Structure 1
Amino acid sequence: MPDTAQLQPLAPAGSCRGSCNLRAARALAAHRQALEEHADAVDRWYAAGGSEQEFPPEPEAPRVRFWPGNPLFCGRCVANARRTLLDLDVLASQLAATADGHRGRAADAGEGRVSGTKTRPSVSPVTDVLDRLVGDLFDVEDEWRSLRGYPGRPSNGGRGAHPRSRTIGWLAERLEDILAHEDMAGLPRQLSNWDRVLRHLAKDDRASTNSPVRCACGERNVGWDDELHYYRCRSCGTLLNQDEHDHQVHEQADAAEARAGQGRATYQPV
């Protein structure tokens, strides 16, 4: 299946570059492939002496809707990217709190160590991942500062929690402008990839859980789509970003509680 960059030319001009349009673009890509296969089959049919009346019609075009960008991304995808960016700081802090920074200390304590050899603790996988995360975030800030002609990023403080939080806050404050620039169009996908990596390390398997939300179509079949980075109704395809999903969770829970309260109020014991 083509990736997001390959699917982008299929979307109408002005469409959102975010994952909200990914399924629609894939439907068009599948239709284009079906048309090519149909045309090849027609050529083979005519070459074999077939008649036009006997051959099935070409595949019907899918009914798809593309959300417009403003200018590159819709407001929902911008909100999704900001939420993901801020979540990276929370996830990184949780992982850092559980990582000791090194591994192999038990062997250094004595058992299993070869006499006369020196051992050197290696950096833990979590520490290495968090270091690369900070490096990527620094690169994004540096690129945006360069594009806008801002002063360089403050480099004091190393690559720990404080510099990471500072850069994430700095980017989040300017994210709407950042995502309006063509050179930064790949940032939402980069953020969602990092979110996937950190949640995997934190064993936060959100992608496999179903949501209690009932979709507008009436079905209770909403779940997190790890690729789209949206909650998606598996029945009708409706997408909800994190904020929209959380709002519906609270709204539907309040409505259910109100109905339960009315039922208790009308109950009359015999």
Structure 2
Amino acid sequence: MFFLKKVVGGIVDVGADFWLPDWCISNLRHVSVPQPPARQPAVYAEKHESDEEKQFRKVFQQLAGDDMEVSPNELMNILNRIISKHGDLKTDGFSIESCRSMVAVMDSDSTGKLGFHEFKHLWNNVKKWQGVYKQYDADHSGVIGADELPNAFKAAGFPLNDQLFQMIIRRYSDESGNMDFDNYIGCLVRLDAMCRAFQTLDKDRNGTIKVNVQEVMESKISVDSSFAVTSLRVGCCHCSGFS
């Protein structure tokens, strides 16, 4: 088993190759990152839903089609249809690879698609983060500049230390440090998934977890390793011990 603890540089070492940011742990008790509810049989779910949920389910049925699940390709079409109606959002559009990654980190039951509650969790986050994006696009350029980004991430629920912020800038911003809408959303989806994965594993809520390799691979910490490793990695591997 790998024992995880805070290490120098604001990074937590997860096993041999996976890291979590310091803010994700230190703020676990203060930042609410709810898990999508477990799936329920359709008949049971519909019977116990509020009027708002029933209305959203009707919309979901139209978007998801007969199988009642949203595939990466369907998600790409949905998101690009949304942003096409907002000319004030500068974006290259959501790519299929980006949507595959988002589905992977949101797919709690490993079907390769998003069910109703998984999609609703993502949908609500995208709506909330879209509002934050517009709020912090202070110069109305359609992108968030490097000087606006720290507060934009904080307002979205993810305060970043400077080291992690610089890594995210290198991964998700253009050469001028500006971040467009699809990169902003893609980054936040991954941060949200990593925090939810850590919260699930941190059963004692004490900021440390013990995991074996299988648990790391099954958690959303390891999904999209280009973000978990390339964007968050600092220095060499530091394993704090085995048990």
TM-score (norm 1): 0.24
Structure number with higher relative contact order (C-alpha < 8 Å, ≥ 6 residues apart):
2
Structure holding more helix per residue: 1
Computing the radius of gyration from Cα coordinates, the structure with the larger value is 1
